[in-house]
Every structure is written in C-alpha cells, then in structure tokens.
Amino acid sequence: MNALRVSWLFFKLGVLNELQYRVNFFVSLLQAAIALVTGLVVLALVYSHTQELNGWTQPELLCVLGIQILMGGVIRTSIQPNMTRLIEDVHDGKLDYALTKPEDAQMLVSVREVRIWQVVDVFSGLVVLAVGLSRISTGVGPDDAAAFVLALVLGAVLIYCFWLVIATVAFWVVNMWHAVELFDGVFQTGRWPVGIYPYWLRVGVTFLVPIAFAVTVPAEALTSRLDWQTLLLAFLFAVSLFAATRWFWRFGLRRYSGASA
Amino acid sequence: MSAVPQAAPMPEAGRVRSMVDLYLTTARTAVSQQFQYRTANYFYMLGMIAEPVIYLVVWTTIADQHGGSVNGLSAGYLAAYYIVWTLVRNMNIVFGAPFWEHRIREGELNRDLLRPVLPLHYDIAYFAGWKVVVIVLWIPLAIVLSLVFDPALSPNAEQIAAFAVAIWGAYLIRTMFQEGLGMLCFWTTRGAAIFDLWMTLELLLSGRLVPMPLMPDWVQEVARFLPFQWAFYFPIQTLVGDYSGTELLRGLGAQLLWILIGFAIFRVAWKFAIRRYSAVGG
C-alpha cells in the first residue's frame, strides 16, 4: 500500500514539474501528429498494392497501429524515462540517493520520472484504435475487450521487465546509452503483425524483446484471433519474467559500489 | 603561424593546397577518433537495421502474395534494394540541422568563427572521415544480411564505379540541405518540429520508405523536382537498377546540380544568419 502511495506522490511531483513547460505540450502534439500521419500514409501505401497483408485487413492493421502508438506512449511516459535515469545514475554514482531511502529500491527506481506530455501519444493511439475498430464489421464482444485489456497490461509488464533487465546490465556495462536507440528501432517492428516476420525475427520480437506480446497479442484479442492458450502463455511469461527480473536486479545491485555521490 | 610575415597575399595554388590539407587532416582525425568508438558505432548501426528489415519483410510479403512481385519489383530486387539502403542511409548521416542548436547554445560557434574557414568545411571533412569507418564496419553487416535475405544483385563495373561516386554525392547533397536548414536555429530554439516535418518529407519522397516506383505517380512526379531522391533512391538504383551509361552520368550530373543549389542556399542563409549571432559564453 505504501508503495502505491509513494508512486502516486512521485507521479504528482513529476506532473507538476512538467506542467511548467507548457509549450512543450504543443511541440509534443505536433510531433505526435507528424508521426501519426506518417503511419497512416504508410498503411495507405501498403493497401494500395494489396487487399490484405498476411490475412490482416486495413482496418485491422489500423488497430495494430493504434495499439503500437498507445503502447509507445506508455513506454515514453513512464518506463523509458525511469530506466534511462537509472542508467545515468549508475554511470554517475548517484544511485545511492535511491538506495538509502527506506523503500524497496526496485519500486523507487521505477516510478521516479514522468514525462506527462508524452501522454499525447496514448490518446492519439486510442483515437486510431477507435477508428480502426469502427471499421471492423465483426464487432468486439465483452470477452474480447476483457482479453484485450488483460493482454495490454501483461504486455506493458513485459516491456517494463525487458527495460529493467537492460538497465540492470548497466551495473556491468556502464555505457548503455545506445539501448534507447536500439529499442526504438526494434519497437517499430510492432507496427506490423508479428506473423509476417521470418521465424528467427518472430522469436526475437516475441521472447527476446517482448513486442509481440505488447502489441500483436492485444490486437489479436480485439480481432477475435486470440486463443486462450496464447493469453495463458502471455500470463505465465509475464509472471516468470517479472520474478526473473527481480532476481537479476538484486543480483546486479550487489555489484553496485557507488562512486562518491 | 610562421614568424616571418608574408609579403604577398597567398597565391591561389597555396590556398587550394592548404584547403586539401585541412580536409585530409580533419578526416584523418575523425577516422582515428571514431575507430576508438567502434562498439558504439556498431550499436548505432544495428539499431538502424530494424527499419529497412521491416520495410523489406512487409513488401516481400506483399510480393509473395501476388505471385512473386509487386509493381514489377521482384522479392530479390527488394532484398537488394534494402540491403544497399543500409549503406546509403549511413552515408546520409551528416552534421544535421538539430546540431546547430547545440552549437549555438553551447557557444561552440565562437571557437568555430575564429577559424579562417567556414565551419561547413570542418563538418564536411569530419563526417567524411567518419564515413570511412562506417563503410568498413558496414561490410560484415551487409554480408550477414545478404546471407539471410538472398538479394538479386549483379552490377557491372560501370555501375559499381557510379555507385562509388553517387554515395558521396548523396552525402554532400544531404550535408548542404541539412546545414542550410540548420540556419533556422539562429532564429528559433524550437526547430525540432520543423526538422521532424522535413524528415517526414524526406522519408516519403527520397525512396527511404519504398523504391520510388511503388509510390503513386503524382508523388514520383513531385519528387523529380526535389533533392531528396538524389540522395537516396538514385545511389541505391545505380547499383541495383538497370541504368545505362548515359543515365548514370545524367544522374551524377543531377547530384552535382543539387549540391551546388544546396551550397548556394546555405551561403545566402549563412550570410543573414551570422549577423543575428551574438555570443553567450564559450
């Protein structure tokens, strides 16, 4: 319970901090609009040459795009800023400030930063998703919707674990700045259903970098493609990865010796 | 910096020689600096590989669904296109417009202005040296990609020669236009949105997203009158396309034209921009 209270406090503080820079909101808005238009143009281009892509129609891929933008917004609002700060703190020896506080260290390093203007992407993703859904003729049942929400949450947890593992590696390899670039590049694979990729890449973006679970699986839920085995797999994978990540974090933490903060 | 004062103004030949010397020395410095950061350079390249691989997979999927080709482009062609893409994309990395904001804000421009030649020359020379490192690092990557994606690539000697020139043409075109665009930073600190817009135009009109024949006809028509595709589609096409000797020469001529246009725009913008500059720190 205390963890929730602390998270909420950090969230409020972060939001207040960001609200000072209001023009940034419009810059975010403009950048989100440019990214969105680009995504739509690419989709239109693809579907001017074909009726369906590996069994996915245009409105269905619009849903995938919406979910990818939404998930990208969640990642850039809360997950990525915290993890890059963690990498920086390890590099500068400032992690002591977090470690000496009487709260769970993993929880603290995961909630310290909020980039609230990036929430724009969450909303633009939701709009794209809604437009896509309205064009799908089959409709979405309540069980599909529930599976979607569950898959989305599991996806976010998996992405968080992946990022924490990468950030924890910073205890050994100090220079982890490129991780952000690398992740942003690979995250673009989520624009397309994972089934179109060759086998090695599909395995990579499913288990190595869990983008398939974060984007494709929720999209499958909405388009009635998801079977319960996949959802169960996502659940088990999320639980075990979370446990493994926590162990790895503690293991890495033992290597941290501070650097005269 | 010789102690003996020069009696006559430096003759033209000496000027050229010292300029060549400046370029070579700066480029050599870049090579030795960037080879130290080869791991960082490699990570950066790997991050960039995702983009063409995604395009390649999407368009190959479409080609396969329609009997092996889309708009007459075969899966093998697409593979070749996007593998060569990775080198051309790397050649397209230059001293970009956003760096100008940094250069002005941090007062680095003060130091640059004290030098007797334009900062542009240092940028061109430094990034050109860096490119040498990038090309060397790119070769193993290209081999791996070729093994995985099976490209249809059989250029003749003419095409290889034209490609070797065209990638440097691409480098110079993009340098000129990015440096010119960077002059905006003398007027605003929020250029990011404009640079994003420019990048999007580039993405759609250069051949970075798809080979130009996959674009609607009117887009191809518009793109013919813009610099973008001469820095991207044309150099790739010299190697993977079937241009004749005259077409290759004409293309290289177009590249030269765009370099000159870009340079002219930069010079005019620079003249006005530098008047607005007042130093802070440094």
Contact between B186 and B276 (Cβ < 8 Å): yes
The secondary structure of B77-88, three-state, reads: HHHHHHHHHHHH
The predicted structure's pLDDT at residue B8: 52
Contact between A211 and A187 (Cβ < 8 Å): yes
Cβ-defined contact of B51 to A182 (cutoff 8 Å): no
Cβ-defined contact of B200 to A38 (cutoff 8 Å): yes
The predicted structure's pLDDT at residue B1: 41
Interchain contact A4–B (C-beta under 8 A): no
Q: Count CB neighbours of A2 within 10 A.
A: 10
Find the domain containing A230 and state its range.
2-253
Report in angstroms the alpha-carbon separations of A3 from A6, A160, A195, A239.
5, 17, 39, 19
The number of helix segments (H) and strand segments (E) in chain A equals: 13, 0
Alpha carbons A184 and A214: distance in angstroms, whole number: 14
Q: Count CB neighbours of A22 within 10 A.
A: 9
Listed by start position, the domains of chain B span 17-276
Contact between A148 and A218 (Cβ < 8 Å): yes
The predicted structure's pLDDT at residue B282: 46
pLDDT in tens, A160-184: 999 999 899 888 876 677 778 788 8
Cβ-defined contact of A185 to B66 (cutoff 8 Å): no
Alpha carbons A145 and A8: distance in angstroms, whole number: 27
The predicted structure's pLDDT at residue B82: 96
Place of tokens 């969230």: A11
The predicted structure's pLDDT at residue B19: 87
Cβ-defined contact of A53 to B216 (cutoff 8 Å): no
Cβ contacts of B57 on chain A, cutoff 8 Å: 192, 196-198, 201
Question: To probe the interface with A, which of B42, B54, B55, B200 has the most A CB atoms within 10 Å?
Answer: B54
Q: Which residues in chain B land under pLDDT 70?
A: 1-11, 279-282
Alpha carbons A83 and A87: distance in angstroms, whole number: 6
Alpha carbons B67 and A124: distance in angstroms, whole number: 37
Contact between B234 and B255 (Cβ < 8 Å): yes
Q: How far is A50 from chain B (nearest CA, A)?
A: 7
What the block records as the tokens of A94 is 């400032």
Alpha carbons A155 and A242: distance in angstroms, whole number: 12
Cβ contacts of B209 on chain A, cutoff 8 Å: 42, 45
Place of tokens 């446990």: A243
- Which of A49, A181, A192 is closest, CB to CB, to B214? A49
Alpha carbons A54 and A51: distance in angstroms, whole number: 10
- Which of A34, A45, A186 is closest, CB to CB, to B196? A34
What the block records as the tokens of A166 is 């990468």
Q: Which residues in chain A land under pLDDT 50?
A: 261
Q: Is residue A258 part of a domain?
A: no
The predicted structure's pLDDT at residue B4: 46
Strand partners, B70: B73
The predicted structure's pLDDT at residue A261: 47
Task: Report which residue type is found at A16.
Answer: L
Interchain contact A175–B (C-beta under 8 A): yes
Domain tally, chain A: 1
Which stretches of chain B sit within 8 Å of chain A by CB?
39-40, 43-44, 46-51, 53-54, 57-58, 61-62, 65-66, 70-71, 148, 190, 192-193, 196-197, 200, 203-204, 209-210, 214-216
Q: Is residue A260 part of a domain?
A: no
Q: How far is A99 from chain B (nearest CA, A)?
A: 29
Report in angstroms the alpha-carbon separations of A258 from A220, A248, B70.
45, 18, 57
pLDDT in tens, B199-208: 999 999 999 9
Cβ-defined contact of A189 to B50 (cutoff 8 Å): yes
- Enter the ipTM: 0.85
**Nearest residue to A244 via CA among A171, A165, A187:** A165
Q: Is residue A259 part of a domain?
A: no
**Nearest residue to A5 via CA among A111, A105, A76:** A111
Cβ contacts of A178 on chain B, cutoff 8 Å: 40, 43-44, 47
**Nearest residue to B240 via CA among B75, B97, B7:** B75
The predicted structure's pLDDT at residue B206: 95
Cβ-defined contact of A192 to B58 (cutoff 8 Å): yes
Alpha carbons B241 and B248: distance in angstroms, whole number: 10
Alpha carbons B53 and B149: distance in angstroms, whole number: 9
